[in-house]
Amino acid sequence: MSQTCGFVAIVGRPNVGKSTLMNRILGQKISITSRRPQTTRHQVLGIKTEGDAQAIFVDTPGIHILGKDRNKAINRFMNQAAVQALRDVDCVVFLVDRTRWTEEDQIVLDRLANVEAPVILAVNKVDRLQDKATLLPWLAELGNKREFAAVVPIAAQHGTNVPELEAEIDKHLPEGIHFFPEDQVTDKSMRFLAAEMVREKVMRQLGDELPYQMTVEIEEFRDEARVVHISALILVERQGQKKILIGDSGDRIKKIGREARLDMERALDKKVMLNLWVKVKRGWSDDERALKSLGYDLD
C-alpha cells in the first residue's frame, strides 16, 4: 500500500477546544490549554504517523473579532496565523461548541468560503449537552450552513468519537512520502515548549486577574548529562501585573514554577532546574518589532 501524507488545519473561534483535540489525537500534550480564550498564540504542528498514513495537524489561534480591547498587534498576529494555516492544507477541521453559534463562528465560516480543501465540521463538547434530543436537529441545521465533507459530534476531552473524526480526516490525505520521521510529534523545539508550559501555568493560576499582556521568553536552555537548566523571563506590561504574578511573599510565582518544572521533567524525562523572573516591558503586545523579537513571527 502506498503512503499518504497531508496537512490538516484545526480552526475555530477561541476556546472551542482546538488544542485539546490535537493533544487527544496525538495521545500526548503538545499544545497548552486553559479555560481562557486565546491560549494558543502560534501555529503548532502535531504529527501523527500510523502505519502508512501521516497526518500533520496545524493547531491555530482562535479567530476572533478585533474590537476596542482586542485590536493590538498580538491580536492581529493571532488572526493572521490562523488564516495563514488555511493555505495549502489538504483538509480543514472546523471546530464548534455544542449548540451555540456565535458571531465569531460565522466569521470563521466566512473565512472558509474561499478554501478549496474539504472541510469537516466537528461539534465539540456534546457530552455536556443537557438535552441530547437537541443534537440531531442541530447537526442538521449546521450541515446546511455550507457543504461539509462530514459532520462529526465529538467530546475531545474524553475522546468520544475522535477515532471516527480521524477516519474522516484520513479519507482526504493525499498519496505521498512522509515529511517527518515516524517518531517525531511536533515541529517545535523543547525551548519553545518550555516557554509555553510556563505560560500555561500562569494562565491557569491567574484566570481573569492577569490580562493578555503576558508572554514568556526562555533566556537559557542548557541540557547537561543529567539535568536541564532553564531560565524563563515572564514579561508583563505594568507594575501592578508583576505584583499579581509574584503574589504574597512570592507564593504564586513559586507555585507556577513548581508546576511548570514538573511538566518539563515529564516531557524531557530528566531533572530540570527552572528559574523564573518577572519583568515589566511596557507596550510589547502592541509593538510589532517587540513581537518579532519574542517569536511572534509568521515567517
Residue 6 counted as an annotated binding residue? no
Residue 63 counted as an annotated binding residue? yes
H helix runs in 180-277, sequence order: 190-206, 239-246, 251-268
All three cell numbers of 200: 500555561
Residue 189 counted as an annotated binding residue? no
Tell how strand 214-223 and strand 91-97 pair up: unpaired
Residue 16 counted as an annotated binding residue? yes
Residue 46 counted as an annotated binding residue? no
Residue 257 counted as an annotated binding residue? no
Residue 62 counted as an annotated binding residue? yes
Residue 125 counted as an annotated binding residue? yes
Cβ-contact 121, 146 below 8 angstroms: no
Residue 295 counted as an annotated binding residue? no
Residue 181 counted as an annotated binding residue? no
> Which residue, chain included where needed, has cell 490538516?
8
Q: What are 155-164's contacts with CB under 8 Å, separation 24+?
A: 155/124, 155/125, 155/126, 155/127, 155/128, 156/17, 156/20, 156/21, 156/24, 156/124, 156/125, 157/17, 157/20, 157/24, 157/125, 157/127, 158/127, 159/24, 160/126, 160/127, 161/126, 162/21, 162/24, 162/25
Residue 17 counted as an annotated binding residue? yes
Residue 90 counted as an annotated binding residue? no
Residue 4 counted as an annotated binding residue? no
Binding-site positions read 12-19, 59-63, 124-127
- Annotated binding residues for GTP, written as ranges, equal 12-19, 59-63, 124-127
